[in-house]
Amino acid sequence: MNRSDSLFAAAQRVIPGGVNSPVRAFRGVGGRPFFVDRAAGARIFDVDGNAYIDFLGSWGPLILGHAAPAVVEAVVTAARRGTSYGAPTEGEVELAERITAAVPSMDMVRLVSSGTEAAMSAIRLARGATRRDVIVKFDGCYHGHADSLLVKAGSGGATFSLPDSGGVPASLARLTVTVPFNDLAAVQRVFRERGAEIAAVIVEPVAGNMGVVPPQSGFLDGLRAVTRDAGALLIFDEVITGFRVAYGGAQQRYGVQPDLTCLGKIIGGGLPVGAYGGRRELMEQVAPLGTVYQAGTLSGNPLAVAAGLATLTVLRDPAVYDRLERLGARLEEGLGAAARKADVALTVNRVGSMLTGFFCAGPVTDYAGAKRSDTARYGRYFHAMLARGVFLAASQFEATFVSAAHSDADVEHAAAAAAEAVAAPA
Ligand code: KE4
């Protein structure tokens, strides 16, 4: 038994599924997860001495790659001054100023410790500000594990949702309506039937949690219009896309301004940070100014803030995004060529440096389309790529990420590996 397997056996005795987040357990691709020893740049090393080019990047935060020197230095320096105070610090002000300067719709921002907290708090604020209870979300979009967001579509398009997890009360799930992504007509129908009850629509402006699915032309503008007309709020969950698809996020890339934005991942540079923010008149309803309560012992933690600031400092250079775009495009091209050569149905969706190859004929424009993928073939592809030194997301319904630490050679290696791996035999 290798060291990863013995660690996994030990882990399963004391941690549910042996992991601290379900998707890490490889259940979407079969097999057992490797345990990480360390990582640097675009490489990740397991405890058995194997090295992989990492195209997961911790599910999105590591846009600069692992152990980026500036980030490590910032965290070490901060740690020497103390690790948490429960009192305000200058770094929190600086990070809030950077975020609100970068994200067009954010006058004010509150730092929290995860994307889940950000989305949960934004939902509560929307309900408090509008004094309405109903939330609209999209099939296949994920916004963390707050109860109101762990729901699945009810029977009909505009009906209320059902719980999508044990422990979520049906009564709470019924306050969320779920509709297909990119289906503006379905959203308009829901607003015709329930507009007066709807507090907010929450959307990943570029979906990442069904695999990467870009917004179709007019979709985000349409959501902006229908929510504004109904007095509901539009929430962009940019936990993945924030500082990923542009320095100002998807709202800058697509030119649509939401009322509230959720952030996470990249703004923490690999340490636990989330954030939510938006227009001043909304954010001034958050405690201690207003009645919408939200709090956190480690919110604005000095080490996480230092890592976030160091990351955003590097990202201020537009050339970084030019390079991410070029590498992302090359990887998309390489995956497509591999599938064509092997005569395998593969639909590659990409926005900037986030992309997904769906093992099905295209187009993939929503979750129903993504679910047509051959997930067994994705599992074989995942392991065949791993065997060739390339680490991808352990699920067909997730994103692959290129970082600033990846070289042209890394991308060429992944494309060459895919040329064999896409046709991995059952
Ligand atoms: P966290 O609570 O995991 O920091 O963020 C939740 C969240 C919110 N919004 C979006 C758009 C997200 O993608 C996420 C978390 N993403 C998942 C996978 N894409 C994290 C991986 C995991 O669950 O382990």
What would the pLDDT profile of 223-264 be if each residue is shown by its tens digit? 999 999 999 999 999 999 999 999 999 999 999 999 999 999
What would the pLDDT profile of 346-369 be if each residue is shown by its tens digit? 999 999 999 999 999 999 999 999
Distance from C-alpha of 41 to C-alpha of 96, rounded to nearest angstrom: 27
Per domain, the residue ranges of the chain are: 3-67+318-421, 69-315
Supply the CATH classification number for the domain 3-67+318-421.
Answer: 3.90.1150.10
Of 46, 54, 183, 237, catalytic: 237
- Distance between Cα 115 and ligand 1 center (Å): 6
Mean pLDDT of 283-298: 98
Of 52, 142, 254, 378, catalytic: 142
| The two structure tokens encoding residue 374 | 């051959």
**Chain mean pLDDT for the chain:** 97
Does the beta carbon of 21 sit less than 6 angstroms from any atom of ligand 1? Answer: yes
Tell me how far CA of residue 310 lies from CA of 62, 63, 242, 370, 383, in angstroms: 12, 12, 16, 36, 34
Mean pLDDT of 81-109: 97
Distance from C-alpha of 98 to C-alpha of 211, rounded to nearest angstrom: 29
Q: Is 139 a catalytic residue?
A: no
For residue 154, the model assigns a pLDDT of 74
CB burial of 317-330 (b: ≥16 within 10 Å; e: otherwise) equals eeebbebbbebbbb
Mean pLDDT of 51-58: 98
Residue 321 has pLDDT above 90, yes or no: yes
Does the beta carbon of 215 sit less than 6 angstroms from any atom of ligand 1? Answer: no
User: Please, are residues 237 and 103 in contact by the beta-carbon 8 Å criterion?
Assistant: no
% of residues, the chain, pLDDT over 90: 96
Cis ω for the linkage preceding 215 (within 30 of 0): no
Q: Is 341 a catalytic residue?
A: no
For residue 160, the model assigns a pLDDT of 79
Mean pLDDT of 105-134: 98
Mean pLDDT of 23-27: 97
CATH top class, domain 69-315 = alpha beta
For residue 337, the model assigns a pLDDT of 97
Residue 158 has pLDDT above 80, yes or no: no
Q: Is 265 a catalytic residue?
A: yes
Residue 272 has pLDDT above 90, yes or no: yes
Nearest CA residue ID for atom 8, ligand 1: 143
What would the pLDDT profile of 85-94 be if each residue is shown by its tens digit? 999 999 999 9
Do domains 3-67+318-421 and 69-315 share one topology? The answer is no
Residue 407 has pLDDT above 70, yes or no: yes
Supply the pTM of this predicted model: 0.98
The candidate with the shortest Cα–Cα distance to 237, out of 200, 276, 285, is 276
Nearest CA residue ID for atom 19, ligand 1: 209
For residue 157, the model assigns a pLDDT of 57
